[in-house]
């Protein structure tokens, strides 16, 4: 029997570092998880009710590969209202099974073997592996806490070669919570135009922006035709398990993505699409959830600083990314010891790229009570491992 049954590009990849810690915590009684990036809110009742009603009415069939036209029209209206960019519902918008599928489709529709895709790190764990799965070459640009983890245009330009095909942008950022101003994005757009590049812009955390206003990359001058805009319902609408996202962009590229989607996924579940239409009709709950996340953000940042961890103040998403360099532990060692000794789940920054080493990701998509208990346990952990006592109130 041949020993090389599994493709080399798959064999060489490690499993998700996020899921590794999540799986351990699932088996541990009394653990507090600041690990997985999932809202702790239940999907609002009106959205769930729309799903239930759709089932009662017998909506159990396939939809168009593109997704339901009514939903695409509503997505088009939403983007135009929020960001002043118009996408035609027929041809420029594709409904997908989560933003993760949309991202995978975008890469596979764009990348030829040998093409380079530039991405900034720390970044979401899927970006680099999915680039490899698409036979592309990931090229990483490190961002730094001194720059508030912003991708700088000059650092991006240093990584561009004759083989560069596309740039991945992800702001507000997972894991750092960083955001980019309109000026920051315009400087990146100038680089994109100069080198004739495409951009995959993952803006799933766009609604979770706490300071200033989120700027949609495709709204910038000359960027609509060069950008595949990715977004979805998981984060802002607390619909992670519904697995529904969308891609908007140039007709030629979106149609290419639809072809792949047509063969591997057919269509997103009709019940999720019906629920998403209700989510777009009523967004009162979004504002309430964002307001609560903002309170938790301040509580988490202040608490981490109180126990002696330097922490950049996140401007978006629902993560903090504190430095643990003063502990003398690696990110992975810190996370494993904290879990085993104090039953608190955090994610080592190293899983988000080499520049994440020396940091940990803590999600504040949990209750204020759990945040306070987790910080108390982390304070005790730090007392033992640094030999210095920290007061936590």
pLDDT in tens, 141-174: 999 999 999 999 999 999 999 999 999 999 999 9
8-state DSSP, 210: -
- Using pLDDT thresholds of 50, 70 and 90, give the confidence band for residue 20: low
Phi, then psi, of 290 in degrees rounded to 5: -65, -40
**One domain for residues 295 and 244:** no
One domain, residues 218 and 310 = no
Statement to judge: residues 26 and 166 lie in one domain: no
In a domain, residue 23? The reply is yes
d(CA 183, CA 189): 10
246 preceded by a cis bond (ω within 30 of 0)? no
CA-to-CA distance for 374 and 34, rounded, in angstroms?
8
* 126 within domain boundaries: yes
Q: Is 327 strand, coil or helix?
A: helix
Is residue 392 domain-resident? Answer: no
Element (H, E) at 126: none
Count structural domains, the chain. 2
pLDDT in tens, 185-195: 999 999 999 99
Q: What is the CATH number of the domain that holds 357?
A: 3.90.1150.10
Structural domain boundaries, residue 34:
8-43+285-386
Q: For residue 14, what pLDDT is reported?
A: 75
* C-alpha distance from residue 116 to each of 198, 211, 343 (Å): 11, 33, 41
Residue 18: pLDDT above 70?
A: no
Q: Is the pLDDT of residue 196 over 80?
A: yes
Do 34 and 70 fall into the same domain? no
Q: Residues 181, 269: one domain?
A: yes
Whole-structure pTM value: 0.93
CA-based radius of gyration for the chain: 21
> What is the rounded end-to-end Cα distance, in angstroms, of the chain?
62
158 found inside a domain: yes
**Domain-terminating residue out of 281, 301, 330:** 281
* Residues 154 and 253 occupy one common structural domain: yes
**Residue 216 and residue 191 in contact, taking contact as beta carbons nearer than 8 Å:** no
Q: Average pLDDT of 99-107?
A: 98
User: Confidence band (pLDDT; 50, 70, 90) for 389?
Assistant: very low
Quick one: 291 and 341 in the same domain?
Answer: yes
- Domain limit, last residue, from 255, 281, 307: 281
Whichever domain contains 114, its CATH number is 3.40.640.10
Q: At what angle do helices 251-264 and 98-110 cross, to 10 degrees?
A: 120
The predicted structure's pLDDT at residue 46: 95
Please tell me the predicted confidence (pLDDT) of residue 10.
Answer: 81
- At 204-222, the pLDDT tens digits run 999 999 999 999 999 999 9
Is the domain of 238 the same as that of 327? no
393 is a domain residue: no
- Strand runs labelled E in 209-312: 227-232, 245-248
CB count in 10 Å sphere of residue 149: 28
Q: Are residues 166 and 256 in the same domain?
A: yes
Are residues 344 and 222 part of one domain?
A: no
Does any domain span residue 111?
yes
Domain identity same for 198 and 155 = yes
Strands 360-363 and 319-320: antiparallel
* Same-domain check for residues 30 and 55: no
* Integer Cα distance of 382 and 134 in angstroms: 42
Of 281, 300, 316, the last residue of a domain is 281
Q: In Å, how far from its chain's centre is CA 275?
A: 22
| Measured distance CA(382)–CA(337) in Å, rounded | 11
Task: Give CA angle at 23 (21, 28), nearest 5°.
Answer: 90
Using alpha carbons, select from 98, 128, 57 the residue that is nearest to residue 241: 98
Task: Give domain status of residue 2, yes or no.
Answer: no
Say if 345 falls within a structural domain: yes
What DSSP designation does 212 have?
Answer: S
Mean pLDDT of 333-340: 93
């Amino acid at each position: 029997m041949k020993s090389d049954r599994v493709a080399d590009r798959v064999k060489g990849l490690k499993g998700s570092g996020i899921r590794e810690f999540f799986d351990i915590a699932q088996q541990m009684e009394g653990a507090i998880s600041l690990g997985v990036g999932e809202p702790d809110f239940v999907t609002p009742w009106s959205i769930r009710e729309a799903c239930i009603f759709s089932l009662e009415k017998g909506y159990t069939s396939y939809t168009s590969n593109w997704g339901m036209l009514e939903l695409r029209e509503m997505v088009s209206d939403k983007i135009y209202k929020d960001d002043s960019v118009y996408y035609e519902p027929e041809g420029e918008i594709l409904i997908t099974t989560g933003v993760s599928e949309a991202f995978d489709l975008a890469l596979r529709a764009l990348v030829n073997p040998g093409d380079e895709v530039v991405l900034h790190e720390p970044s979401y764990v899927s970006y680099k592996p999915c680039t490899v799965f698409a036979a592309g070459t990931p090229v990483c640009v490190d961002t730094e806490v001194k720059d508030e983890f912003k991708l700088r245009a000059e650092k991006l330009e240093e990584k561009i070669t004759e083989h560069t095909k596309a740039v991945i942008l992800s702001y507000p950022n997972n894991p750092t919570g960083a955001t980019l101003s309109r000026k920051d994005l315009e400087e990146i757009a100038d680089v994109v135009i100069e080198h004739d590049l495409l951009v995959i812009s993952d803006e799933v955390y766009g609604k979770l922006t706490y300071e200033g206003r989120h700027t949609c990359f495709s709204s910038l001058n000359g960027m609509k035709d060069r950008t595949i805009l990715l977004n979805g319902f998981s984060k802002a609408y607390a619909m992670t398990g519904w697995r529904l996202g969308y891609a908007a962009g140039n007709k030629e590229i979106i149609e290419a993505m639809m072809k792949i989607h047509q063969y591997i996924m057919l269509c997103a579940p009709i019940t999720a699409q019906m629920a998403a239409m209700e989510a777009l009709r009523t967004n009162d709950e979004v504002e309430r959830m964002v307001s609560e996340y903002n309170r938790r953000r301040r509580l988490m940042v202040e608490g981490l600083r109180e126990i002696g961890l330097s922490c950049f103040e996140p401007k978006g998403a629902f993560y903090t990314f504190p430095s643990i360099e003063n502990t003398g532990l690696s990110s992975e060692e810190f996370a494993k010891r904290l879990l085993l000794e104090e039953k608190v789940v955090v994610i080592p920054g190293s899983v988000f790229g080499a520049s994440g080493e020396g940091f940990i990701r803590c999600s504040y998509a949990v209750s204020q009570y759990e945040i306070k208990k987790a910080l108390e346990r982390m304070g005790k952990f730090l007392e033992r491992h640094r030999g210095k006592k920290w007061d936590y109130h």
